[in-house]
Amino acid sequence: MSKSAKIWFVTGASKGVGQRLVRQLLAGGDRVAATSRTVASLTEAIGPASGQFLPLQVDLTDDQSVRSAIARTIETFGKIDVVVNNAGYAQQGTVEGLSDEELRQNFDINLFAPLTVLRHALPHLRAERGGHVINIASIVGFQGGYAGWGSYVASKFAIAGLTESLAAEVAEFGIKATVVYPGPVRTEFLSSGALAVAERQIDEYTEAKASLDLHLGTLHGRQAGDPDKLALLIIQAVDVTEPPLHLFAGKIANELAAQKTAAVQHDVDAWKGSSAATDFVE
């Protein structure tokens, strides 16, 4: 194994981008601890446990389960170099249409689960005086103007903000942090079932149709993003000396990020005078 080989801890690794990332890491000689709700789903998708691959059954909403997974990874591989918070899901529905349980479950996986992972992993990274945290958000965590996706958008904005704060918090320990904003990626993330739900929602909330069309036009099997290339991009970002804090993935993500940046600058410029007038006059 080469000197540059790393030890990774990847959540949500039984399918999608997480699975593709783990496969590429193992092929490149890295060692990987990967989590899913069952070990069987990991071994079926990736392969059996080995000296290079540690499949872990983890309930990301349970503190002790996460704590045990981190401890077992350290026990098996000696340390962790890279943490990838990849597990997450999209909750569709208008703000007033979602139940309290639906909202909280969405945030439990998309935000509080990564926080739990970090709470148990960061002490080890601090002790090593290095490491890298990769938090997988979505382009909707930067440009969030999609009616009917408020819960998902809010959770991804939250993980983006968390990553910015974390980067400042751990910089003195030599730890890097990157938030990844993929555009639509061709994985199982949007299934035929999800399409049917979204189509019903359009019928029920016609005012949301224009925004939802972005998703319906790129649903299962037609998304622009290549999950293998996205996995490679993440590996590249970890391997460079100065990794990006914000990493946009795909042409759609880049275009939407540029649109959002321009829209914010427009509002800043239009209201600069009135905004400045709210300060005390010294």
Asked whether the CA dihedral 134, 138, 139, 144 is positive or negative, the reply is negative
Catalytic residue among 89, 146, 152, 205: 152
Given a contact cutoff of 8 angstroms between Cβ atoms, the answer to whether 24 and 226 are in contact is no
Given a contact cutoff of 8 angstroms between Cβ atoms, the answer to whether 31 and 59 are in contact is no
| Segment (H or E) for 156 | helix 150-170
Dist CA 236 CA 249 (whole Å): 12
CB atoms within 10 A of CB 194: 18
Is 32 in a helix, a strand, or coil? strand
Dist CA 61 CA 117 (whole Å): 10
Active site residue 181: no
Catalytic sites, residue numbers: 152
